[in-house]
Each structure stands twice: as structure tokens, then as C-alpha cells.
Amino acid sequence: MNDYEKCCKIRRVILKRAGEIMAYSNWGAEFSYRQITELKHHEALEDARGIDPNNLTREQALDLGFGRWEDGNPLLLIPIFLLPFLAETFDYMSFTGERGTTRDNMDNDNRYGCLAYGVVLP
């Protein structure tokens, strides 16, 4: 499975679960919360880890919800839903231009659903 397929699988699982939570009004708040927070450990996503966003095409990244930082800037910010599934190391850049390679150095701050970190894709 390539990285784009992994990302699509993650998106499908998250959206399915979110849809269930919205549709099943008998699910309590605590149960619903656990259903979302435990997704990063979901067995269906075991093979969807280690994603390097640099392996995506620009079109694939945009389809997945990567955000454009600003007009004329090629940086595409990573959607927060992918954070738990990213590779431990990959080349990334913050919107301030700082470069890094280790996921542990990225924080989870987000704006409009995207991290302050992204990739430059052709």
C-alpha cells in the first residue's frame, strides 16, 4: 500500500466513525469520545503508519486536505488527522521556513485543520 492509499484509508476510517457518532444519538458523549480518540490504535489502521508526505503528488496532497500556506508559496501544510500516522522521520518545513526531519519535533498546533508544518511538492 503506498502512502496515498494509506492516507485515504485513514480518512475513510475517521469519517466512518464520525458519521456513526453523528447518526447514533444513543451513543453517549464519553463513549463517542473514546470512539474517536482510540482510532489511532484501530486495528484497521495498523498497516497505515509510517507515512512520508513527500511521497505524495501535489494533486494527492490537495485531495487529502493539505492546506496552501499562501499564494505563491509552494508549501502544503499537513492535515492534523495524519499526525499520528506520519513516519518518525521525513523532511518537512514549518510555515516560518524552519526545516526539520523528526516528527517528535513537530507540535500539534493547527489552524483550519492543518499543522504548522508541511512539504513542498512539485
In the chain, domain spans: 3-45, 53-120
DSSP category for residue 51: B
In angstroms and rounded to an integer, the radius of gyration of the C-alpha atoms of the chain is 15
Cell of 38: 482510540
Cell of 67: 492546506
pLDDT per residue, tens digit, the chain (122 aa), is 999 999 999 999 999 999 999 999 999 999 999 999 999 898 889 999 999 999 999 999 999 999 998 888 899 999 999 999 999 999 999 999 999 999 888 889 898 999 999 999 98
Of 119, 42, 34, residue with least CA distance to 79: 119
Whether 49 and 115 have beta carbons less than 8 Å apart is answered as no
Q: Compute the CA torsion angle 113, 89, 10, 34 (nearest 10 deg).
A: -70
| Predicted TM-score of the model (pTM) | 0.91
